[in-house]
Chains A and B, each alone.
Chain A
Amino acid sequence: MKRSEIVFIAVVLGVLSVGLLLELTVPTRSVEANRVEAGQFISTGWYCPVPPGDAKDAIMSTANLASSALGLRRSSIGGSAQSIVDQISIPALSTGNKAVSDFSVPDATGLVEAFGGNNLTQLVVSGAGRGAAASRCSAQPASRWLFASGSTSRGDDHYLLISNPFREEAVVQVRLLAGDKEVVPARLKDLVIRSFSQASVYISDYLQEEPNFGIDVEASRGRVVVSRYSNVTSGGGNGISLDLGVRKGSNEWIFAAGLVPTDGEETILVVNPGTREALVGVVFMTDGERSAPPELSEVPVPAGRQVAIKVSDHLPRGTSYGVQLTSTNDVAVVAERRTAGVVESNRSYESVLGVTAPARRWAVPAGSPSGGVATLSLVNTGQNPTQVKVTLLTEGGEAIPPELASLTVEPGRKLVVDITPYLGGNLATAVVEADAPVLAVESQSFLGGQFSDFSSTSGSVVP
């Protein structure tokens, strides 16, 4: 063998060895998956199912969170008459309110189409003599909607507001998930929702005297938006509540504005719409401590069933708290907080779905057309203190009260901020920004006086 050949073979062996060495030592470069990030809205359609009958005033409040003007095209879908279409533009960082009754179409869903940057639309209703309630509107019609709470006990009137804002007919099925059974009322098996219409389903017509159940609305055809309107006159509380359902379960739920009634009961209701049992851990956060009762470390929630956790069994009455529920075995659940009793001297009824994850930026309706006290409850679920800024958007524009420009929320703690002095009796949207994505936000209104009502609304994450 020639010397050159030996050298050549040595080179080949060398390259092979180096290649093997590199393979074993050089790490693979990470590859980012193609993900589309949410950004500024271009156009958004908000669907706000409006309660029938006794909700006399329903106001769609749209907040322009962007730094440029927002074009609004507002109308209603459903009802028996052609809706008036209202087109306006609202300035940057302000709100635009519109009464749904202005469209002259009863039993209709309010529709806000917004063209421009980020925005948020919410519905605030005032019930005849019973107070007020606020709810998020939906930008995402879907084929499934879930609620953790419902009741057909005497005095508990619950309505499902099912809106079909599309040209296609929708067919839905309503499943009621109680603690010991699962019921699909015969007439709710294939409920047809005509195109461009809203149906109000009075649940008591289908299931009588059932004190506790979750609700699962599934569309086998088409897509719908489902809200639940409650008008409760039973002993514990007396008031109205309006909530948009959630489209799917989650492994995590956070409620920021818990307050154990001095009389009556506050209950955390957990529904498992899945097919496997869920194990849920509960952690309470107050302004002074974070506590995880051992008996609530793994609460079993059977598949298709509802479980109720009475808060007063674990916290003293009158305690202001936040609560975080986590599914420890990754089975998604739906959780809701229901209050019936006396809170801050108001005897009322309220039910609210929590938020599913902490975030950095929130928007939430604040105040009520009926006046009263408005508060913001902030919960820090993280490990470090977070700085928070609160901006209030009204029809007049943006306001950042100096006292709210820099708040500190300690880790695992809850902070309640009274924003009543800054509202001036107006409806507003509070934008809450934290320096880390650890915050959960909920607003509350205590109307007091003749209404003796309180109302809670969970925040909406905004980009």
Chain B
Amino acid sequence: MGLEEALPFVLDQVATMNETRFEADPRVLVVLVTHNGGAWLPASLDSLRHQIYSSLDLVVIDNGSRTEAAATVSRYARNAELVRSDRNLGFGAAANAGLESSSRTSSADYFLFMHDDVVLDPDAIHTMVEASISTGAGVIGAKGLDWDRPEVLVEVGMSADQFCIPYSGLEEGEIDQGQHENLTESLFVTNACMLVSRQLAERCGLWDGAYFAFGEDLDLCLRARLAGFKVMVEPHARYRHAGAFSNGQRRVSRGVPSKGHLARRNQWRTIAKNASAPRMVFALTVSLLLGLGRMLALLLLRRVDESSDYPRAFIDFVRSFPNLMLRRRAVQKRRTVPDRQIRSLMVRDSQRFRLQVERRVRQWEHGTLAVGAKSVKRLSFTGLKQAFAVWAREPMTIATFLIVLLGLIAMRGFLFGEPLAGGSIWPFPEATGRLIGDYLSGWRDTSLGTESAAPTAFPILWVFSLLGFGRPGLAQKLMILILLTIGLVGINRLVGSSAKRRPARVVALGVYALNPVLQLILSNGDLGGLALYAGMPFVLLMALRTLGSGEEASGWAEMRTPVPANSDSLLTSTGRMALLLAPIFALAPSALLAILLLFATMGVGRATSTGFSAPALRRFRFLMLAVPLALVVLIPWSFEGLRPSGAILGPLFSGLGGWLYPLWREFSFREMFLLDLGGSLGALVVPGILLGALALVGPARRSEARLLSLPLMVFGLIGGFAGKGFLPPLVASPAMWLVAPLAILALLSGHLAEGVSEELPRHAFGWRHKIAVPALVVTLGVGVLIGWAPQLAGWDRPAPTFAGGTSEEAASIASFMKSTAQEVGDFRVLWLGSRWSSPVRTGLKPSDGPEYFLTTSQGLTMLDAFQPPPAQGEARMDSVIDALMGRRLHLAGHLLAPATVRFIVADPNDEATIEALGRQRDIALEQQQGAVAIFRNLQWLPRASLAPVALSEEVVTQSNPSSVMVVDWTGGRSIPARSPSKFTGDLPRTAHSQVLLGDNYNKGWKASVGDTQLEQSEAFGWANRFELKPEASGEVRVYFGQHWIRFLWLVVQVILLLAVLAMAGTSASSGKERRQ
């Protein structure tokens, strides 16, 4: 029963209440809610029988217990009224129902609500009533002690933080030594034992039945406080509490939502009902975002059960929101106390955080800390010794370990060297906060700046930055290691889904881990390729399950179950695939085309086995659906990524222009087709594995090998033709193209190994054996040892072809830029010449013209890695750079200045670039370090600045649409930046007459002085120009609007993510599915 239903009845009872009162003792109605009370209920009833307080009535609500409580009640409390509910209504609704049914409600002055696992001291009720009378409090709580260890405190009043997360303030296992003996105020007391006055019930009502469990006591006490009632704890009243529901001792009926689900939902309900409007918006937003973060963390830890609580709680919350708002209105109507008074009783977030950390440490010590699917214990020498002894008995584990060790040794320079600065791999910003700031900003401060949405990879990097304690180098390497590990775990699972024997896994792991594709990815710092490497085995596994591969093979049922062909199951599978693909696309946008092709070819490959039947087509449709669904999760960024020049389709279209061909041509047709990256002998590996897997395995594996051979060949053919220059490369880097065939190859190797070790012995020694043995020798001996392993020797450092030169140079340049930025404010850097542009990096200058790119003073960041689609200014920048490099210009510094270009970095050995720069009157060599020359634009203009009266004198030439601005404007005054999209400062008394902002002609920028909005006049180069009035004074502000649009998008994105999460279903169903 909900509050609405219960409240009229209670009030009605109050209205018809007998006017006669007991003058001596107020009448107390004990409301005891029991659900599968077991051994606790008799003790609880017995304690009531022994109360010294005589003016007591008792109503017991049997809240859907399996074994009816009637017998126990009649035995221990003959005078008690018993109310029975057929199902578990939850505490609040059950108590409301009890009050509604009881004839004694109308005569009660107090209601004592208690659980069935609570035992009261004999004087508890007496003490609580006295406290209530003496203080006038609306709610009185008692001191709670542990059921089994009565010296241990469990409650002496409760608090909560601003997000309504409860906090007890007690140390775990805190002994009662009389340290909490004062009658004190508390934010709330739990409903384990809570005395509520009739006045409060009349004014505020009682329980909100929609809570079911967790948080209804906080809600009731907050309502009481808002209405002006006190909530007190009388520690001299004591009770013992078993906490049977919380600690899982109580059997709970089916259909009850999980604790996490209830706790989250009720937390949001309590905020929505009781907080003031501004605080509600803040607390709800932060709480939802924190919930999202926690959910992602749980997903990463594979605690899917717990992570699914969040979307379900959110959907529940959203569904009940209209009703909740009506309740909120009623609560706020009764408000007499401001939020700040209540906040004074709330706990600070830091205190709660400290407690959480301490609790985790204790859990670790006790071996109950859950990390992933298992709990971890504190390491001890004996434990380690035992674990090692077990581990050492597993030769295959040792083999796997050795493979990983070999990889680590091979990558020693990469992993344990200095941080990779300057862009070999996307650099993480120094300030972690900036990542999320950039993500939420309406303005992206990259290239020439744009208002497009930031890449969805931001939250992922943010998480890694946090894990790396804000240290970019650590975060980078952590991410690399984690992605590598995920990839290897994935391939293990993929092969394990069709092979029981360890040799199959080891062979597959070897193929996937010790190959030149991974070397290519790491040496190029291709984080996108690495993300795909990590996710591909899982993608392949889910795709095979969705397509129903292996369903005809009865022996596989225990390892891999195909997704049932009904729409519900397929939809769930599609949702999961979309959730898996989304982070991959976020980090490797152009992988979308490779994945689409993979799915298409797998679908056709599957059809070659089963024919084009209706179920097969349905499976195929659902598989393909996952790709657009993943893009839905990435909205709004995916809109931009899908533009012809965007991060997803850009390589396809720009590939036609030829800028990628030189890279692709490093891989010859044969290499692409045969995956021969280890030399000519290694070329035998692919056909060896493919033909071996086709010929030497049992029917089920052979069928899958046929399915997989098609994508392998199609990828090889397309890659080969792209390498020859006859097709545009579909993806940004060859590595991304090679990962899918590599995973297929690893799986086929596993098939082959499994087939040889398991299936061949069943047959007589014959021609299969004659082919099988050489195929294996070729695969392992020639392929790995001769073909690939030698390459590992040189696999220790990324190629020095990234922005910033070698790591040392890059670090030095980065340091110079940062120190200058601290001095003069933010600026842009133009990296000029072919040395700096890495075709592996998605989105960097995909055009046919001169090679360059722009970064902020931070150097290359994640934002540059996903360059937004060109805006109006990019075309002009192209033409200016073209003129500069063609030596057709002598005032390039003037032209670049409004774009805030302060430094131009060039390779001193690049004669063409150096000569072009040398021709410029307004560009001077600042310094030269090793193979890096830094030029300074003498005409540099800060991003936002005050400019002199006569700003420009343009010479318009007929040979080029660009205008050459010949006037000097040095002396402009910078307006300090507050964020990428906001600049503020005091307007000085000077002759300045204009405000300039060098950002891509975007009309979204606005400026004001004091309260006066400034009008935007004709652009000056790249800069927006605002006219200042002569009498203007006050603070000058330049800002980019539309934050609310970005925020709205964020909300939409979260909702979409939650919707897909809900679509993907819960882990419970997946577990069931697995068991089926």
Contacts and interface: CB of A to CB of B under 8 A. Distances in A.
Nearest to B919: A140
Given A9-B695, A167-B924, A36 B882 contact: yes
Interface in B644-670: 658-659, 661-662, 665, 668-670
A22 B720 contact: yes
Interface stretch (A41-49, A200-208, A283-291): A41-49
Contacts of A140: 887, 915, 918-919
A28 B670 contact: no
A71 interface: yes
Interface in B663-679: 665, 668-670, 673-674
A313 interface: no
A11 to B, nearest CB: 9
A115 B957 contact: yes
B918 A141 contact: yes
A23 B673 contact: yes
Interface string A266-298: 000000000000000000000000000000000
User: Which one of A32, A34, A66 has the highest number of Cβ atoms from chain B below 10 Å of its Cβ?
Assistant: A34
Contacts of B960: 40, 42
Interface string B514-530: 00000000000000000
A139 interface: yes
Interface stretch (A12-20, A52-60, A127-135, A233-241): A12-20
A5 B694 contact: yes
A113 B966 contact: yes
Contacts of A317: none
Contacts of B918: 140-143, 223
A54 to B, nearest CB: 30
A312 B662 CA distance: 53
Nearest to A28: B724
A347 B152 CA distance: 119
B246 interface: no
Interface string A92-118: 000000000000000000000101110
Nearest to B690: A12
Interface in B937-980: 938, 955, 957-960, 962, 964, 966
Contacts of B706: 5, 8
A40 B959 contact: yes
A222 B958 contact: no
B888 interface: yes
Given A12-B690, A223-B918, A42 B957 contact: yes
Nearest to A223: B918
Interface in B682-708: 687, 690-691, 694-695, 702, 706
Nearest to A13: B691
Contacts of B921: 45, 165-166
A45 B890 CA distance: 6
B522 to A, nearest CB: 26
Interface stretch (B225-233, B351-359, B823-831, B843-851): B843-851
B716 interface: yes
Q: How large is the interface on A (under 10, 10 to 19, 20 to 34, 35 or more residues)?
A: 35 or more
B61 interface: no
Interface string A143-184: 100000000000000000000011110000000000000000
B460 interface: no
Given A36-B886, A42-B962, A222-B924, A19 B694 contact: no
Interface string A27-43: 01111111011111111
B695 A23 contact: no
Given A19-B673, A26-B724, A113-B966, A42 B665 contact: no
Contact of B725 (A22, A28, A40, A42): A28
A16 B834 contact: no
A113 B720 CA distance: 52
B959 A117 contact: yes
B724 A43 contact: no
- Residue among A5, A37, A42, A167 with most chain B CB within 10 A: A42
B724 A36 contact: no
Contacts of A23: 668-670, 673, 720
B593 interface: no
A408 interface: no
B959 A41 contact: yes
Contact of A43 (B691, B890, B925): B890
Contacts of B891: 43, 45, 113
B658 A32 contact: yes
Contact of A22 (B661, B669, B848, B955): B669
A34 B674 CA distance: 30
B659 A19 contact: no
A8 B713 contact: no
Interface in B66-119: none
A82 interface: no
B661 A31 contact: yes
B885 interface: yes
Interface string B699-735: 0001000100100010011001001111000000000
Given A5-B694, A29-B725, A38 B959 contact: no
B720 A9 contact: no
A34 B960 CA distance: 21
A329 interface: no
Given A19-B717, A142-B918, A166-B924, A42 B850 contact: no
A43 B891 CA distance: 7
B729 to A, nearest CB: 12
A73 interface: yes
A68 interface: yes
Contacts of A29: 661, 724-726
B695 A34 contact: no
B850 A36 contact: yes
B659 A34 contact: yes
B957 A116 contact: yes
A19 B671 CA distance: 10
B966 A34 contact: no
B669 A26 contact: yes
Contacts of B888: 38-44
Contacts of A221: 925
A24 B659 CA distance: 25
Contact of B890 (A38, A44, A223): A44
Contacts of A36: 849-850, 882, 885-886, 912
Nearest to B968: A167
B889 interface: yes
Interface in B37-74: none
A42 B658 contact: no
Interface string B871-906: 000000000001101111111000000000000000
A89 to B, nearest CB: 10
A36 to B, nearest CB: 4
Contacts of B669: 19, 22-23, 26
A221 B673 CA distance: 53
Given A19-B669, A34-B850, A73 B966 contact: yes
Contact of B720 (A19, A32, A43): A19
A8 B938 CA distance: 69
A15 B960 CA distance: 52
A351 to B, nearest CB: 25
Contacts of B883: 42
B894 to A, nearest CB: 9
B890 A113 contact: yes
A71 B958 CA distance: 11
Contacts of A33: 662
Q: Quick one: which of B674, B848, B891, B957 has the most chain A CB within 10 A?
A: B957
18 contacts: A5-B694, A13-B691, A15-B717, A22-B720, A34-B659, A37-B886, A38-B888, A39-B959, A42-B957, A42-B960, A42-B962, A42-B964, A43-B889, A66-B959, A73-B966, A116-B958, A140-B918, A166-B924
Given A20-B670, A113-B890, A117-B958, 4 more contacts: A16-B713, A31-B658, A38-B888, A222-B925
Task: For the complex of A and B, list the 9 residue pairs with the smallest distance between their C-beta atoms, beginning with the closest.
Answer: A29-B725, A45-B890, A23-B669, A40-B959, A36-B885, A23-B670, A115-B955, A19-B673, A31-B661
